[in-house]
Structure formats: C-alpha cells, structure tokens
Homo-oligomer: A and B are copies of this chain.
C-alpha cells in the first residue's frame, strides 16, 4: 500500500472545496449522525513529523468543536499497563452521536518498533481487528487515515520543527529513528496496513507532501465516508432481524444434573471456614503476583448467587476486590457499545472483581425479552469469547459460575421471600413474570453454556436445590481454578 506509492500522483479531488460551503455541509452531516445516534471514529496515523497535528486541527475546526473529542494516545501510563492493551481504547470509544478522533489510533501499537515481531504482531492485530469489527458491527462509522511522506520531506519537516521554541515537545527520538531507518519502517508499515485493511473501513493513504492539499483531502474523504457510513448503518439497522442462525444444541445439559445432591449441616460447618480462608489466601497470592481475577455469576432467579458470593468473600481482604451487581443498563451506558460498561469495570492487575450477573445478559435477558435483535445476540457469543480471550491472554483469571435450581425449588424460594418481611424487597413482579418464561430462559442458558464454555474461561455449573451444597461447590471450584492457574504460571516461569 505504501511501497510503490507514487507521490507525484496528486489527489486533487477536493482541491476546489470552498471552506464556507464545507463548514455548512459538515455541520449538516454532524447533525444527522447525532439525530440517528451513529458513533463516528476517525483514526489518524502516519509517519512521525508528517503533520498529523495540522491535519487534526483542520479537521476539527470544520467540525463543531463542542461535539468532537480528540483523544491522544501516546505512551501508555502506569494504569494502562495494568490492563490488556485494548483497555484504554475501550475507555475512549465514541458514544452513539459523538465524533471522536484518535490521534495515533489503536494500530499505532503495532506500528511501534517495540512490537515488531511476527508473533506479537499476529496476536495484537487480531485483538485490534476484533475491536474494530465489534465497533463496526455495533454501527460505528470508522474512518482510517495514514499520512504518508517521503524520506526527504520527513527530514525537512524535522529540521523545521527543530527551529520551534517548543521543539522538545514536538520532536522525540522516534522521529529521528524513523527517518534514519526509513526503508525498514516503510516495509513494516506496509505490512501492518495490509493486515488491518477492512472492507467496511479501508485505510486511506494520504499524500502528505502538500500539507494544505492533504488537509482538504482528509476533510473530503471524511465527509464522503460519513455519508456512505450513514447509508451502511441505516441499512444494517433495517436488516437487523434477518435470521441466518444455524445453531443446533447437541444435547440439553441442565436436565442431566442431579439436583438432589446435598451436604449435611455438620459437614458444611466443618469445611466452610477452611475453604474460605484458603480462597482468601489464594486471592492474596494473586494480588502479590499482579494477577487479576474476574469472577462471573449467572443463573436462574433465586438460585443463590448473592449468598454464594457472600460466603466466597467471607475472609477475603475487602480492599482487594469489588462486587458489581449488574442491572439494566443506565441511560448513559446505553449510549455506548454494550460491552463498554464491563470494560469500565474489569480489574487492574492484582485486583478481583465479582460480577453478580454479567455481559451474558446480552444472550439471556436481552435475548429472551427482545431487547437485543437476533443478529445482535447471535454475534454476541463470538464477541464475548473474544473479549474473555483478550483478558486471559493478558494473564487474568476468568471463571464463570452458572447456578441452577429447578422450577419447583424456585417457586418455593419465591414464596419464602414473599412471606419473610426482611427478604420481601428481594422479590418483585419481574421475578414472577420471568418465571413464566422459564423454558425460554433455560433454552437461552443451554445455548450460552454450550457456545461460551471455553478452555481459557470455563463455566462451572452449580446445579443443586440445596444452598449449602452450592456454596461449598463454588468455593471448591474457585480454589481449584486459581491453584491450577498459579501452577501453570509457575511452570512457565521455571521453564
């Protein structure tokens, strides 16, 4: 894409743009994406000292600056390093209706010299492409620019910047490094651009030799891509309910479980505290080793998630974990991709987060109640598997508990709650209503367990009508999972 690029081949499509008309046009487009609630993400990459700053300035000046955000991604901060590398981009994605410009896109990580091994490139590129696909599938317009200049132009630009009184902020070692090894970088950039070129959002290589023309071209392409993006997203929204599912459940798991398993009060009392202390110790060990733990709880209503969580955390240092009870998304959360609110809550290295209900809501309640369209929840299985893989590839522990009781037991527990004044608040109309959908929920749960039970982030199904047995089972799986993980870490270190 960059190699054999002809710099003499001037792109003057937009040369006749009149600023004044342009301002009005862009203003209109901006109001359309706001009205249609379409997020727009503009990625600006390119050579060092190629004038990215000027281009961004020109671009945002024409857009109404009050509704545009520029996000600068230079070096990662200490907090960034305690999360998977895509984490910081998730924090800054546009809301539905916002235009966000990334100065150095997420691909700058792979443009970077530090990560120039083929293995690392492959893993990172996959993660980043997955991120981009998730945004595209969610109806984001993504526009990608790479500002291309020749070696001599880069030298001249660097020389000009050296004259500035702010040169120490405008120039870094990277500028000189790229200029010195221009041809190496050319090869590398070319490779990365090819790998990350996506049909719905191809790279636009901008001839940066004439900066004014480059700025106009960026503006012109932006307008065109927003226009065609509006069409693409609107069409996709109309088509959202087409059915092309070919999933077939092999066999129902949940019916197979023996729900009558119990533990005696005496045995429960004799093992509980030791298990709790062992769990607490293991969490502490993960803290000292900088390993994040993500523990997810799903299950049918009244299956005992809350009680199990309380027993699990009994001896764990409360400063090292946080529990999130996940409810329907708020107004603000609804203006983002559905995974955004979870990326906001994933723990930094060494911390633990427990989710009481999770991102699986997408394929459970949102599916059953129709809050998500079929194409939305159908693609969610892959999105979720991918997201959990990013977390475990980063070195975090992800374990998922599914708690199941049968219909009769649920009815019994609902009635107990209704009658007991101190538990009364736990039961609502919604619970009784959901119960009527029992079969639909179980059906969605079966598919979830089938399609997201991965080796890196397994489901532990806790299926019993006895609360105490369930609690002990959760503790045992929790302990075993962490132990195996720590053993594996140790093996890798020793090797």
Contact = CB atoms under 8 A, between A and B. Distances in A.
B317 A53 contact: yes
A269 B299 CA distance: 68
Contacts of A313: 65
Contacts of A79: 77, 79
A342 B69 CA distance: 17
Q: How many copies, total?
A: 2
A103 B320 CA distance: 12
Contacts of A66: 306, 309, 323, 325, 356
A57 interface: yes
9 shortest interchain CB distances as A-B pairs: A60-B318, A72-B319, A70-B318, A66-B325, A66-B323, A70-B319, A57-B318, A332-B332, A331-B331
Nearest to A323: B66
24 contacts: A56-B318, A61-B318, A65-B309, A65-B313, A66-B306, A66-B325, A66-B356, A67-B325, A70-B318, A70-B319, A70-B322, A72-B319, A77-B79, A78-B78, A79-B79, A101-B318, A103-B319, A169-B284, A169-B287, A169-B288, A330-B331, A331-B331, A331-B332, A332-B332
A145 B217 CA distance: 63
A310 B65 contact: yes
Interface in A161-190: 166, 168-169
Interface of A: 24, 27-28, 31, 53, 56-57, 60-61, 65-67, 69-70, 72, 77-79, 101, 103, 166, 168-169, 284, 287-288, 306, 309-310, 313-315, 317-319, 322-323, 325, 330-332, 356, 422, 425
Given A56-B319, A69-B322, A168-B288, 20 more contacts: A24-B422, A27-B422, A28-B422, A31-B425, A53-B319, A57-B317, A60-B318, A65-B313, A66-B306, A66-B309, A66-B323, A66-B356, A67-B325, A70-B319, A77-B78, A78-B78, A79-B79, A169-B284, A169-B287, A330-B331
Contacts of A53: 317, 319
Nearest to A324: B66
